[in-house]
Amino acid sequence: MVFFPGSGPAIHVLDLRKTYAVTDREAGVTAALGSLVKRRTKEVTAVNQISFEVAPGEVVGFLGPNGAGKTTTLKMLSGLLYPTSGTVEVWGHVPWKRNKAYLRQISLVMGQRNQLVWDIPASDSFELNRAIYRIPQPEFRSMLASLTELLELEPLLRKPVRNLSLGERMKCEIAAALLHRPRVLFLDEPTIGLDVTAQRRIRTFIAEYNQRYEATVLLTSHYMADVEALCKRVIVIHHGKLLFDGDLASLVERFSPYKTIVVQLEELQAVEVDLTRYGYIVSNIDGRVTLRVPKLETASVTGRLLADLAVTDLTVEEPPIEEVIEQVFSEGVTVQ
Amino acid sequence: MSGWIGIYRAQFKTSFAQQLQYRVSLVLWLLGLVLEPTVVLVVWTTVARSHGGAVGGYDAAGFAAYFIIQMVVNHITFNWVAWDFQERIRLGNFSPLLLRPIHPIHIDIADNITYKILTSVVMFPATIGLIIAFQPAMHPPLWAILAFGPALLIAWALRFACEWALAMVAFWTTQVAAINNLYYLVMLFMSGTVVPLSLLPFPVQVVAGILPFRWMMAFPIELLLGRLSVTDALLSFGVQLLWLGLSLGILAVTWRIGIKRYSAVGA
């Protein structure tokens, strides 16, 4: 974690915890009738004592499977939810006190939720935000102009929001969230449901916004491409607990017990030789064999491959991040 | 101050644009608002005629005056926050409103005022039409006419504060439709909406005097009918303001506690 000289962290989270009471009943009519008489509630811990800090201007990816506690954490950081215990400070503010001064500095964009008024054009919602956030006219105009350019909003501004496609609406949502130039940006699945082109555009835009305004960004996404493109650092949470906090490369390093060796063999050899003694065969196409090998054996297997076979090309690769993440979640290892 | 004017101006524009999107539904709502008192009016004038011209001090023209004023007072004071609130909490639509550096109540206030301005275009001629059709009799002194404005304004604020506070029950129960229905049923009778309070049995009148509803409806109506003495009017203003203060207090406390319970469901 790199702190800028003379400044503390932008976000400081200590032992944050959130439990919900949820009603618990079996499916079916009998259970439904039963719950009328006696309602059982169950306490669910959504976030379980997580602590981390984020430096000003940093972009951090928040990873975890559905229900891991990512959104709950973002909601607490943006002041929507009161935590059960723990402390949070964002630029010196306690979020859930919801000071106006705090709310003017942040934005939470939720991919599955809209803040734009459904029945009117986005430009009218922008105008409303200008008044609410008290953005001076010249600043508003210049910010809107640059957002319009970067996100290609021009043809969308005058259409009622309900007539926009999902991707178009998301671009407008992001623009609305950034008009007041927030110093801290919480993005919850900002690219969900979008096609690849729209995803890429939004990704590029977030990177650009972060650089231009030195905004601190906390982002959750199920698309590893988002995380790879934007975040050097990732925080992995699972069942509400923090599993990993560090850079993406060391996440792979630490959690992947395998490496992938890709060898190019002569076609005949690739078919005749029993390759399973070198490792697990992921694929074997036209003599191009992909093997999964335990990390510690990588060197010896590579040596044996080169000695035993007529190898024309060989590369050793880290497995795809998705695979590693999946492994982390399924094993649930705790790492400090 | 200029900031607030800007916010309200922008919210007015948004509300106008939004409400004009569904013009047919707007007209239908208005139709209901005019029809309801008209039906009650027809019923009561018929009852008055069949009872030798008057019931409980109201003759046909008196009833006409009562229910025409009731229509205006109801139109000015009514709001739909309790229904909106349920959707907001249940579907998590409240979250974006909470993230803005402005209390969500301001949106509802601006929305309410906009609707009233927009619909007055229809309400005004409708009122004139009813006056011509039913020939109401009312003889308010000048001071009562002047006092009607402030009484109506406080009635609006009181009803708004009460119903906003009630709506917040949704923070605890998520579903508030049943509570709303019960509230409206009690309000209908205890406020003087379907029947002038003086026609109710005495014990009910006593209860109505304790509850806040009559200060939202019956008080401004009786004031404009010229049925109150100066002393009665002053006393009524006192109680009305007391209720307003109380409901604003409850609103503030409920908000502070309720917001901690908000779990941003599904959002």
H-assigned helices in chain A: 29-37, 70-77, 100-103, 122-132, 137-151, 166-178, 196-213, 224-230, 248-255, 267-272, 298-308, 321-331
What pLDDT, on the 0 to 100 scale, is given for residue B56?
A: 82
Asked if B101 has any chain A CB less than 8 Å from its own CB, the reply is yes
Tell me which chain B residues have a C-beta less than 8 angstroms from the C-beta of A113.
Answer: 92-93, 95-96, 267
Chain A window 59-88: which residues touch B at a Cβ cutoff of 8 Å? 75, 78-82
- Please name the residues in contact with A188: beta carbons below 8 A apart, sequence gap of 6 or more: A70, A71, A74, A108, A109, A110, A111, A112, A220
Question: How far off is chain A from B80, nearest CA to CA, in Å?
Answer: 18
Find the residue in B nearest to A18 (Cα).
B263
Q: What is the reported pLDDT for B212?
A: 95
- pTM for this model (two decimals): 0.84
Say yes or no for a CB contact (<8 Å) between A79 and B99: yes
Residue A291 in contact with residue A263, Cβ under 8 Å? yes
Burial A239-257 (b: 16+ CB within 10 A, else e): bbbbbbbbebeebbeebbe
Residue pair B70/B130 in contact by the 8 Å Cβ criterion: no
CB distance A124–B7 less than 8 Å? no
Task: Report the residue from A98, A110, A128 with minimal CB separation from B11.
Answer: A128
Is residue B52 exposed (0-12), middle (13-18) or buried (19+ Cβ within 10 Å)? exposed
The ipTM assigned to this model is 0.82
| pLDDT, position A44 | 87
CA distance B189 to chain A (A): 31
Cross-chain Cβ contact B14/A113 below 8 Å: no
Convert the pLDDT of each residue in A210-239 to its tens digit: 999 999 999 998 888 888 889 989 999 988
Task: Tell me how far CA of residue B171 lies from CA of A35, A268, B178, in angstroms.
Answer: 20, 70, 15
CB-based contact, A114 to chain B, within 8 Å? yes
CA B127 from chain centre, in angstroms, equals 17
**B158 min Cα distance to partner chain A (Å):** 26
* R_g over Cα of chain A: 24
Q: Name the residue among A80, A119, A120 with its Cβ closest to that of B98.
A: A80
Q: A-contacting residues of B 20-59, CB under 8 Å?
A: 21-22
Lowest mean pLDDT among A92-96, A265-269, A294-298, A332-336: A332-336
Residues of B in contact with A131 (CB under 8 A): 3, 6-7, 9-11
Residue A4 has a pLDDT of 47
Does residue A93 surpass a pLDDT of 60?
yes
Is A132 an interface residue toward B (CB < 8 Å)? Answer: yes
Mean pLDDT, residues B173-177? 78
